[in-house]
Amino acid sequence: MTITLQKGRTYDIITVDLSVAHDNYELYCPGDRLIVVSITGNLTVRLDEPDNPEIDLAKTVKLDVTPTKFKYLYFTNSAQSGKSAIIYVGRDASFFADPLRSAIVGVLDSEENRINPAKEDGNLASILSQLDIKVSELRDALLGEEAVENHATGLDETADQEISLDTKGHKLLEVYAKASASTTFYLDVSPDNTTWISGYMSWSSVTEVKETLWNGFRYVKLRSAAAGASGDTVDLYLSAK
């Protein structure tokens, strides 16, 4: 046959041999959408009635008529040697295993994006992209219930000192610093651990800092400037919850 129909549970596959001319070739194939998987020539289709307007399938990737449906397809083409077309007809709750014109089978979501069900976050990444959140951020929000902290004590105050912390997405930040002699403490912040905003906050000529901050940056750094004399020490603490 020059036009064949392969029935499936949720979608059907139509193969058209374009080397043979067709004039409103009638095919019973109920559905609510057409997906043109591949086409190498010219082919038009009419829905339900042979005198309805023609649809040029060579210029169509997807035709969706939901919430309505069609029952009959009428194909027309001139004889084109060596040419062919493959069309999927979908129905309610259908998915499409699409060769994507490369013979590599894939699964598409409702927005025609390829997903890989073999990867645990294949569907999840697609959903989260619509919510403007990354998989890693969701993971941190779900799993990062425990506080994270970093500290260093007894550091030589006569040299610049610093500690850093990956907050894992926690927003409540505790800052504590103590020095034997007055010095300046700095809090630096970064969204990516690469681009840093130095001196986002600072405390000048103090021996102790106690701050509870609402922080939107993932990475933070606490620094102390060199001060004091031999034997003076500094303690630095960062905690996020």
What integer pLDDT is reported at residue 68 of this predicted model? 85
Give the pLDDT score at 64. 83
pLDDT tens string 15-25? 999 999 999 99
Taking 50 as the threshold, does the pLDDT of residue 110 lie above it? no
Q: Is the pLDDT of residue 104 over 50?
A: no
For the residues 188-198, what does the mean pLDDT come to? Answer: 93
Calculate mean pLDDT across residues 36-56: 93
Mean pLDDT of 2-31: 89
- Tell me: pLDDT of 116 over 50: yes
Same CATH topology for 3-108 and 148-240: the answer is: yes
Considering the entire predicted model, what is its pTM? 0.43
CATH of 3-108, one of 2.60.120, 2.40.160, 1.10.1740, 1.10.620: 2.60.120
Mean pLDDT for the chain overall = 83
- Do the beta carbons of residue 5 and residue 14 sit within 8 Å? yes
pLDDT of residue 63: 86
At 160, is the pLDDT very low, low, confident or very high (cuts 50, 70, 90)? Answer: very high
- The rounded Cα 101 to chain-centroid distance in angstroms is 24
Rounded average pLDDT over 175-199:
94
Band of pLDDT at residue 1, cut at 50, 70 and 90: low
Extents of the domains making up the chain: 3-108, 148-240
pLDDT band at 193 (very low <50, low <70, confident <90, very high): very high
Give the pLDDT confidence of 200-223 residue by residue, as tens digits: 999 999 999 999 999 989 999 999
pLDDT digits 0-9 by tens, 60-69: 888 888 788 8
DSSP the chain: --EEEE--SSEEEEEEETTS-EEEEEEEEEESEEEEEEESS--EEEESSTTSPPEEGGG-SEEE-TTS-EEEEEEEE---TT-EEEEEEE-TT---EE-TTTT--EEE-TTS-EE-TTSTTHHHHHHHHHTT--HHHHHHHHHTTS-EEEEEEEEETTS-EEEEEE-TT--EEEEEEEEEEEEEEEEEEESSSSS-EEEEEEEEEEEEEEEEEE---SEEEEEE---S-TT-EEEEEEEE-
Q: What is the pLDDT of residue 156?
A: 96
pLDDT at residue 145 in the model = 58
One of 2.60.40.10, 1.10.3720.10, 1.20.1530.20, 2.60.120.380 is the CATH number of 148-240, namely: 2.60.120.380
pLDDT at residue 108 above 90? no
* The predicted structure's pLDDT at residue 135: 59
